Amino acid sequence: MKRIITTFLFGVACLIATSNANAMTTQTATIPFDFTVGQLSVPAGTYVINQVSPQVIELDSSTRFIHLRVGVIPADWVSQRPDKLVFHKYGDRYFLSELRGGMGEFVSTLRPSRLEKNLRLEQVAAADQQITEIALK
């Protein structure tokens, strides 16, 4: 009986250690412009980014009292330029579209919102889309 309990506890300890090892370290980004995440407009400022799971990231700003959990899509490829937030810009609006982190170990993309899709269609004719990258610290 002791052997079964010891084996079980060892297995649980291994699972906990593995889940903690896979967690992204906390990173910070100072974003100098207002931007949109999903359907929400977010002001410029310094944000702490955590990857809660492969499908969820958190954006926190204690100075602005903002706490967002955002669903992301883990990408199958490794980034060549790690530790960055990638924004798509249409006119004067910025949309968070990608998180690259872990020294290139993971890339997570955000689904474009309806507003971003509409602006993208409008801007295709004007060829006014830009990509902006913000380094994570």
Per domain, the residue ranges of the chain are: 24-135
Which of the four pLDDT bands, split at 50, 70 and 90, describes residue 112? confident
Element spanning 13, H or E = helix 2-22
pLDDT digits (tens, 9 = 90+) for 31-90: 999 999 888 888 998 888 888 887 888 888 877 778 777 888 877 665 566 778 889 888
**Residues in contact with 70: Cβ distance below 8 Å, sequence separation at least 6, in sequence order:** 37, 38, 56, 57, 58, 59, 96, 110
